Structure 1
Amino acid sequence: MRVLIVDDEPLILNGLVKIIGEAAPLGTEVFKANNAFEALDLMKDYMPDVTVTDLHMPEKNGFELIEAARDNGLCDRFIILTGYDEFDYVRKALRTGVVDYLLKPIDKNEIAVLLARINQELPSEADQECSGHAKRILAYTKTHYMNDLSLDHLAELMNLHPNYISSLFKKVTGETFVSYLNAFRIKEARKLLRSQRQLSVNVIGKKVGFEDKHYFTKVFKKYTGMTPGAYREEGEAEGNADGGGTSGGFSQ
């Protein structure tokens, strides 16, 4: 099991590393980060099974870290630590879907029981390795979708066979790699068409990874039923109908 601990106070962070290292099941790897940004970078390399995070951190708090990690497929289990015994925080934590919510200072026995339970819920080693590969590949794809991506490129980067990656994509997403990549690119293109009206359709196509404007139009129409230009015009018409001028945005 891999555990990432995040806290912006060095003394507390080192104390947590010591306590959790002693309380965690045998063979657990423990990593630490001083803030949410450092945590997200570490997640890309180590794909933790669970992240133990403080809530109150500067620039990006614990809830924002959880949201960013989940959006990028970097971690889906979280334990929140905070010194604030307030119901609103507990309620928000539960709505966020965290594993548990613990108050500082943490109880060693309590965290030991919690980590043991999580360890038992983890898939077998073979399934875990497969899941780890899938998370890394999906995270990389979502972050670099605008680049020239291919199965061969991913295979070289991840040190895996292209056929393995192809099968893994189909198993995890239900789609082929190309279908998943194109769908993600079109989703981003739709956002830009509505929010960046000063950019031409051709420029937006290139921004999301389509060098050929005709291919971009073809793929966009396949996924949305209309051309990029028509999609933008529809958004403008909706904005004008609502009295919002040209400000109407797209969210997904």
Structure 2
Amino acid sequence: MKLLIVDDEPIILRGLVKVIRDSASPGSDVRSAGNAYEAIELMKTYRPDVTVTDLHMPERSGFELMKEAKEVGLCERFIVLTGHDDFEYVRQALRYGVVDYLLKPIDKIEMSVLLSKIEDLLPSDADQEGKQHAKRILSYTKANYMNDLSLDHLADLMKLHPSYISSLFKKETGDTFVNYLNAFRIKEAQSLLETHRHLSVNEIGRRVGIENKHYFNKVFKKYAGLTPGAYRDKKNDERCGG
């Protein structure tokens, strides 16, 4: 099991690392970060199974750390630590999908029981690795939909076989890579047609990654039910109350 410990007080952080190393199962990998920024950067390569974090840290709180980590798929499980026995903190923490809530100073036996329970719930290494690959692939696709994307390109970038990426895509989204990418592009094109009326249909096609105007019209009609020009006219009519 991979654990990340986050606390802005160095002495407390060292103590937490020692207690958690003693509490975790043999072979567990325990790493630490002194603030939320450092934790996010470490998560990008480390991908912890569980993050144990203080809630009250300067600049960025434990709540902000959990929110960002969950949004971009860096960590799904959290244990929060705080010296404040306050139900409001518990309520907020639970909204972020926290596994448990422990008051400082933490009890070694309590932590050991909790970590053991979490480890029993973790997916197998293969399942976990697959989910992490899928999140990276989806994140990259959404950020780069306007570029020339293909399974082969993703395979080279991610150092994975194209057929493996294809099966991951299907498992994660329920759709093929091509269908997912085209649907995402057309959704973005619809937004541009509505908000950037000065742009030509051809330019919008290029901006969402479809250079060929005939192919763009064909794909747009397949996913939106009408051509880009007709879609824009329809939205203009709706806007004018026609």
Q: Same fold (TM over 0.5)?
A: yes
Q: Compared with structure 1, are the counterparts of its residues 85 and 221 closer, same or farther at alpha carbon in structure 2 (3 Å cutoff)?
A: farther
1:155 is the counterpart of 2:155: yes
- Equivalent residue, structure 2, for 1:91: 91
Structure of higher CA gyration radius: 2
State the alpha-carbon separation in 2 of the partners of residues 14 and 235 from structure 1.
62
1:124-144 deviations in Å (ceiling 9; x for gaps): 233233333323333433444
State the alpha-carbon separation in 1 of the partners of residues 32 and 192 from structure 2.
36
Deviation at 1:167, TM superposition (A): 0.9
Q: Does the CA contact (< 8 Å) of 1:5 and 1:53 recur in 2?
A: yes
Question: TM-score, normalising length from structure 1?
Answer: 0.75
Deviation at 1:208, TM superposition (A): 5.1
1:127 is the counterpart of 2:127: yes
1:181-232 deviations in Å (ceiling 9; x for gaps): 34444555666777x7598477766565455566556555544556667569
Q: Compared with structure 1, are the counterparts of its residues 214 and 79 closer, same or farther at alpha carbon in structure 2 (3 Å cutoff)?
A: farther
Cα RMSD between the aligned structures? 3.3
Q: Does the CA contact (< 8 Å) of 1:54 and 1:62 recur in 2?
A: yes
Identify the range of structure 1 (64-73 vs 220-229) with the bigger mean alpha-carbon deviation: 220-229
- Equivalent residue, structure 1, for 2:171: 171
Q: Does the CA contact (< 8 Å) of 1:73 and 1:139 recur in 2?
A: no
Identify the range of structure 1 (164-173 vs 11-20) with the bigger mean alpha-carbon deviation: 11-20
Identity %: 65
Where does the alignment leave 5 or more consecutive residues of structure 2 unmatched?
A: none
Q: Compared with structure 1, are the counterparts of its residues 89 and 222 closer, same or farther at alpha carbon in structure 2 (3 Å cutoff)?
A: farther
Q: Does the CA contact (< 8 Å) of 1:155 and 1:161 recur in 2?
A: yes
Deviation at 1:235, TM superposition (A): 9.1
State the alpha-carbon separation in 2 of the partners of residues 185 and 160 from structure 1.
24
Q: 1:1-150 counterparts in 2 under 5 A? A: 1-150=1-150
Deviation at 1:29, TM superposition (A): 1.6
What SS does the corresponding residue of 1:90 show, helix, strand or coil?
Answer: helix
1:120-170 deviations in Å (ceiling 9; x for gaps): 111223323333332333343344444433222222222211111111111
State the alpha-carbon separation in 1 of the partners of residues 52 and 104 from structure 2.
12
Where does the alignment leave 5 or more consecutive residues of structure 1 unmatched?
A: 242-252
Q: Does the CA contact (< 8 Å) of 1:193 and 1:232 recur in 2?
A: no
Q: Compared with structure 1, are the counterparts of its residues 199 and 17 closer, same or farther at alpha carbon in structure 2 (3 Å cutoff)?
A: farther
State the alpha-carbon separation in 2 of the partners of residues 187 and 57 from structure 1.
39
What SS does the corresponding residue of 1:102 show, helix, strand or coil?
Answer: strand
Q: Compared with structure 1, are the counterparts of its residues 165 and 233 closer, same or farther at alpha carbon in structure 2 (3 Å cutoff)?
A: same
Q: Compared with structure 1, are the counterparts of its residues 197 and 10 closer, same or farther at alpha carbon in structure 2 (3 Å cutoff)?
A: farther
Question: TM-score, normalising length from structure 2?
Answer: 0.78
Deviation at 1:40, TM superposition (A): 2.6
What SS does the corresponding residue of 2:98 show, helix, strand or coil?
Answer: coil
State the alpha-carbon separation in 1 of the partners of residues 158 and 152 from structure 2.
10
- Equivalent residue, structure 2, for 1:246: none
Q: Compared with structure 1, are the counterparts of its residues 205 and 100 closer, same or farther at alpha carbon in structure 2 (3 Å cutoff)?
A: farther
State the alpha-carbon separation in 2 of the partners of residues 225 and 182 from structure 1.
14
